[in-house]
Amino acid sequence: MLSDNAWRILIFPKGNNTEHLSIYLDVADSERLPSGWSRNAHFKLILVDQNNYGNSRIKGKEHNFTARESVCGFTSFIPLSEVRDSRNGYLVNDTLMVVAEILAPQNTAENTRLAEPPAKIPQATLTDTFNTYFSNLEEIIHAAQSSPARGGSNVSNQKCVLLTSEAPTLEEVEKAKLSLKECLSDIFNLNVKDKLAEAVSTLSIAKSGLSQDQQKSVKAFWANFDEFTSNFLTFERDNVELELQKYLKDQMFCRLKKNHESHILYKELFGDLTEEEEELNKKLEEVKSRREKLISDWEILMVESEEAKSGYKDQEKKVDEAEEKKRIAEERMSRSTIAWSNLKTLFG
C-alpha cells in the first residue's frame, strides 16, 4: 500500500496463454472504492535476479486505473525459458522475487483527476528499499562472521558378519588381538570393518589367551556389533551431510558478501549519478530559461514583423495612388507644354 492506496501484484508463473511470465499490477481495493473512481499511476514491475540485482528485468508504464480497467501489466514480461535458465537468478529454490514500484500514484477521487501532475518523488525514496534490504543483509553477514564455528570429527563404520564355529588356536587369538589393537587405533576408518569383524568374532569364541575382562568386553561388543557399526555409519553419514551443508552455507555466505559489496558499489555509483543529474538539471534549467527568452523575443519579433507587413501594404497602396496622380499630372503637364509651345510659335 502506497499513499493510502492498496495495490497487489498478479503473477502467472506458467504464463497467461503465452510462453512468457505474465505480471500485472492490480488495484486491490477496487470493489470498495466509490462509483466512478479513477487512479493514475506510473509504475515499474521488477523481476529480481536474486544472484545479481543488476541483471534484474524491469518494465514500467503509466496507466489510469478505473473500475473497468483495474489491472495493468505485461502478458509477455519475460520468456519462461529465461526464467528457468539456471544461469539467471530469477528462480532460486523454486522462488521468484517480484517488486512493484509505484512512482507517481494519485489520490482516489470520484469522477475527477488531479489537474496538476503529481510532484516528483525525491530520489532518496528510490533507494530506500535497497538500503533497508541490504542493511538487513549486512546484519546477517556480521552475525555469521561473529558466530563460533561448529564441527566434528569424521566417523565411519562397517557391518560384517564373520562366524567361526570352532575355538581359535592361541596363535590365532594373538593374531586377532594384534588386529583388534590396530583397529581400535582408528575405529572410524571405513577400511577396517572387515578386519575388525574378523578379529572380534575370533576373540569372542576364544577359550584362552584373554583375561576375563577382555572376554567379557569382546563378547559384549560382538553381541551388539551390528548396532555399534550402524551407529558409526549413521554418524559418518550425518557428519558428511553436515560438512556438505556447511560447504553450501559457506558458498551462500560468499555470495551474500559479494552481493553486499556490489550493493555498496551501486550505492556509490548512484550517488555519483545523482550529482551528475543535479548538474544536468541546473544546465537544463539554464537552457529552459534561454529557450523561454528566445521564444519571447521571437514572439515580439513576429508582432513587429506583422506591423511592418501591414505598414508595407498600406504604403504600397499609397505609392500606387501617388503614381497614378503623377501620371495624370504628367499628362496634364504635357498638354500644357504643347499649348505653351504653340502659343510661343504664333506670337513669338
**Predicted confidence (pLDDT) per residue in 322-333, tens digit:** 999 999 999 999
Same domain membership, residue 106 and residue 178: no
Name, in order, each residue with C-beta under 8 angstroms of 16's C-beta and a sequence gap of 6 or more.
22, 75
Q: Which residue has the higher pLDDT, 5 or 315?
A: 315
> How many domains, the chain?
2
Question: Would the pTM count as exceeding 0.75?
Answer: no
- Indicate the residue among 95, 111, 127 that finishes a domain: 111
Domain CATH number, residue 58: 2.60.210.10
Distance CA 64, CA 169 (A): 97
For residue 60, the enclosing domain spans 7-111
Cell of 298: 521571437
Residue 163 has pLDDT above 50, yes or no: no
- Has residue 120 been placed in a domain? no
Does residue 250 lie within any of the structural domains? no
- How do residues 31-40 score in pLDDT, each as one tens digit? 788 888 888 8
The DSSP secondary structure of 147-190, one letter per residue, reads SPP----------------SPPPHHHHHHHHHHHHHHHTTTT-G
Angle between helices 193-204 and 212-223 (to 10 degrees): 130
At 219 the pLDDT is 87
Give the pLDDT mean for 131-154.
64
3-state secondary structure 80-148: HHHHHCCCCCCCECCECCEEEEECCCCCCEECCCCCCCCCCCCHHHHCHHHHHHHHHHHHHHHHHHHCC
Q: What is the mean pLDDT of the chain?
A: 80
pLDDT higher than threshold 50 for residue 221: yes
pLDDT grade for 166, boundaries at 50, 70 and 90: low
Residue 206 maps to a domain: yes
Q: Which whole number is the average pLDDT over 271-281?
A: 92
AA letter at 341: S
- 138 within some domain: no
pLDDT at position 117: 42
Residue 20 lies in a domain: yes
Domain annotation covers residue 258: no
Predicted confidence band at 164 (pLDDT cuts at 50, 70, 90)?
very low
Which residue among 91, 111, 131 closes a domain? Answer: 111
In a domain, 66, yes or no: yes
Which of the two residues, 25 and 107, has the higher pLDDT score? 25
pLDDT given for residue 147 in this prediction: 62
The residue among 71, 86, 111 that closes a domain is 111
Residue 102 within a domain: yes
Mean pLDDT of 313-342: 92
pLDDT tier, 199 (very low <50, low <70, confident <90, very high otherwise): confident
Kindly indicate the confidence band of residue 125, based on its pLDDT and cuts at 50, 70 and 90: low
Q: Are residues 12 and 92 in the same domain?
A: yes
Note the pLDDT of residue 321.
93
Burial 300-339 (b: 16+ CB within 10 A, else e): eeeeeeeeeeeeeeeeeeeeeeeeeeeeeeeeeeeeeeee
Q: How confident is the model at residue 158 (pLDDT cuts 50, 70, 90)?
A: very low
